[in-house]
Amino acid sequence: MSASQSEITEANRRLRLLIDSDPVEAILQARRLLDGGSNQQNIAAGVLIDAGAITRDGAAVQTGIDILRCLHEKYPDIPAISYNLANGLVTLADINKFVDVNWYLDTSDLRREGRYLLASVAASKTDADLKSTAATNLANAFGKAHRWAEAYDAYLEALRFDSTNAIASTGAARLLLRCVKLGLGDPSVLGAVAQRHIERAKLNEERIKELGGTQAYEELSKLFEVNLPGGAYPDLSCADEYQQFIAHHRLALSPTIEGLDLSLKRWDSLEIHSLRESIKNNGVPPLFAMFNILKADYLAARALAYKALNENTADSGTYSDTLDYAVYGINESLLSLAQRTCMDVLDKIAAATSEYFNISENVNRIYFSNRWYGNKLKGGALQWNPRLKDAILKNNSALIALAELSLDTESGGALYENKAMRHASTHRFIVVHDLGSMPSRQSPFVEHYAAHEFHSSVIRSLQLTRAALLYFVDMVSQNEAIQPPPEGIIATMEVPYHHDIRGEDSE
C-alpha cells in the first residue's frame, strides 16, 4: 500500500535526523522502504547514499544508485531524482580509497556522470534550494578534481540561487584561502573577499546543519574562528561598463579570481613567468608566442561577447523574417564567433601542452579531447598519455585539472553542449530565438536555441576557457618548479613585454 504524502514527508524527516545520530540504523530502516512507491524509494535511496557515505558502506551506496537509475529511467525530468543519483555516483567514487593519481582514472566515469547530472539540475527549472544545493555539490566535485576556478564559479552560482547557503559561502572562502596559500593571485584581495564570504556564512550558520548535517557543521564552523588580516576588497566604483561586465562574470585573465586591478592599464596580467631550457637552444621559446596567441584569442572572444550582449551595434544588413521569433544580425554572429573562439582556444592549449612536453605527433590531429589520455585499455579503462604520465605521477594538479575538464567537453559531459554549439556554428547553422526555440520549419542543418540559453552558454564558455588558461599556466609553473637544475653554463634570457618593445605604453 502506498504511503500518504504526509507519511512520506515524516519518514524523510525522521531518517534524515537518524543519519547524524545512527547512520547504520538509518541504512537498515531505509531498506525497509524500498518496497514502497516511487517517492518512498527515492527517499530511501537518498538515505542509503548519505548514510553510506558516513559509514563508507559501498553496498548501501550502490543499492541507492541502482534504485535511482530505475527511477531516473521512468522519470528523467524530475530534478530531485537526478540530484540524488548524482550524489550517489560522486559518493561511490569518494569512498573508493585514494591511493595514487590513478584514482582519477578508476573513478572517472562515476564522477563525470555525477557532474553532468548536478549541472543539469542547477540549470533546470526546479526550486531555488535544490538548484543551489546541486551547484554547491558540483563545486565540491570540481574542487576534488583540482578545478578550483570552476569550483569558485559554481559556489557563486549556488549563492545566486540561495544567498543563505552557508556551505557555498564557506566553500568559496576555503577555496580563496587555498589560493592565498599557493600564491595564486593577490593575497590582500583574496583575503578580503574570503572574509566577506565567512561573515555571510556566520549570519546563516544554522543552514550548515540543515544542508550538510552535524559533521559538516563541525568541520566548516572552524572557519568562523579564522582571523584574517585586513585586505582591500575590490573597488570597482571607477570601472567602466566593460570592466564591470568582466568583474561580474569573473572573466579577467589574471590569477586573482575576484576584481580587477584598475591601477594597471593592462590588468589581464596572467603570464608564463619563466622556462628553463638548455643554453644550446636559440631564440625565445615558442611557448611564449603560443601563450600570447591563446591570451589574445580569449580576450577577443570576451570583447566580442560584451559587444554583442551590451552594445546596439549598427547593422547595415537586411534579413528575411522567418516568422518564428528568430533574431538575425551582427550581434548573433558575434556571439557565435565568441563561442567558437573559446572552444578553439581549448584545442590550442592541447597543442601548446604538446610543445611544452615535447610530444612529437601529427600537429593536425591534436585536440583538447585527445591530448591527456592514451588509448583505452582492454575493457574500456582510461590510461594516462604516456608522455604526460611522469608529470601526473608527480602530482601536477593543474595537468590533472585539464585532463578532467577535457572529459566534460565530450559527449555525455556537463560541458558538451558548449562544444556542440561550436561544431553547429562552424559546420551548420545556429538560429537564436527571443521567444521559444521552435522554427517555422525544421531542417537537419539548423539548430535552434532560446536567446537566454545561448547567451548563458557563451558566458559559460568564456568562464571555462579562462579556467583552462589558468590551469595551463599553473601546469607550467608546477612542472618548472620540480625540474632538476641544469648542468654546465647557466645564463638568463630576459623576455621583455611586447608593448614595451613597441613603445605602445609610452607617454
In a domain, 141, yes or no: no
Give CA–CA dist 251/157, Å, rounded: 15
Residue 230: per-residue pLDDT: 66
Which among 264, 233, 210 is positioned nearest to 17, based on CA atoms? 210
Strand partners, 448: 431
User: In one letter, which amino acid is 12?
Assistant: N
Total domains, the chain? 1
Query: What is the pLDDT of the chain when averaged over all its residues?
Result: 88
- 459-496 pLDDT, tens digit each: 999 999 999 999 999 999 999 888 777 666 555 556 66
Give me the residue label for grid cell 537526478: 82
Q: Residue 269: pLDDT band by 50, 70, 90 thresholds?
A: confident
The stretch 122-134 carries a mean pLDDT of: 94
Residue 210: per-residue pLDDT: 85
Residue 379: per-residue pLDDT: 63
In a domain, 66, yes or no: no
pLDDT at position 501 over 80: no
Look at 504 and 222; give whichever has higher pLDDT: 222
Q: Which of 158-172, 387-401, 437-451 has the lowest average pLDDT?
A: 437-451
Which among 30, 10, 33, 5 is positioned nearest to 19, based on CA atoms? 30
Look at 369 and 231; give whichever has higher pLDDT: 369
Q: Which of 72-76, 153-157, 271-275 has the lowest average pLDDT?
A: 271-275
**Phi, then psi, of 314 in degrees rounded to 5:** -60, 135
Give CA–CA dist 123/140, Å, rounded: 17
In a domain, 431, yes or no: yes
Interior angle at CA 497, CA 496 and CA 503, nearest 5: 110
pLDDT at position 117 over 70: yes
Domain hosting residue 467, numbered range: 270-507
Residue 244: per-residue pLDDT: 92
pLDDT at position 428 over 80: yes
Q: Residue 1: pLDDT band by 50, 70, 90 thresholds?
A: very low
Query: Alpha helix locations (H) across 99-240?
Result: 102-106, 108-122, 128-144, 148-161, 166-182, 187-203, 206-220
Count CB-CB contacts under 10 A for residue 366: 19
The stretch 442-465 carries a mean pLDDT of: 92
Residue 494: per-residue pLDDT: 62
In a domain, 165, yes or no: no
In a domain, 60, yes or no: no
Residue 84: per-residue pLDDT: 93
In a domain, 454, yes or no: yes
Give CA–CA dist 416/410, Å, rounded: 5
pLDDT at position 506 over 50: yes
Which among 130, 110, 108 is positioned nearest to 120, based on CA atoms? 130
- 37-47 pLDDT, tens digit each: 888 899 899 99
- The residue length of the chain stands at 507
Pick the most confident of 104-118, 405-419, 436-450: 104-118
In a domain, 413, yes or no: yes
Which among 361, 298, 322 is positioned nearest to 448, based on CA atoms? 322
In a domain, 220, yes or no: no
**CA–CA distance from 328 to each of 318, 337, 339, 449 (Å)?**
9, 14, 16, 13
Give the sheet arrangement for strand 429-433, strand by strand.
326-327, 429-433, 446-450
The stretch 125-135 carries a mean pLDDT of: 94
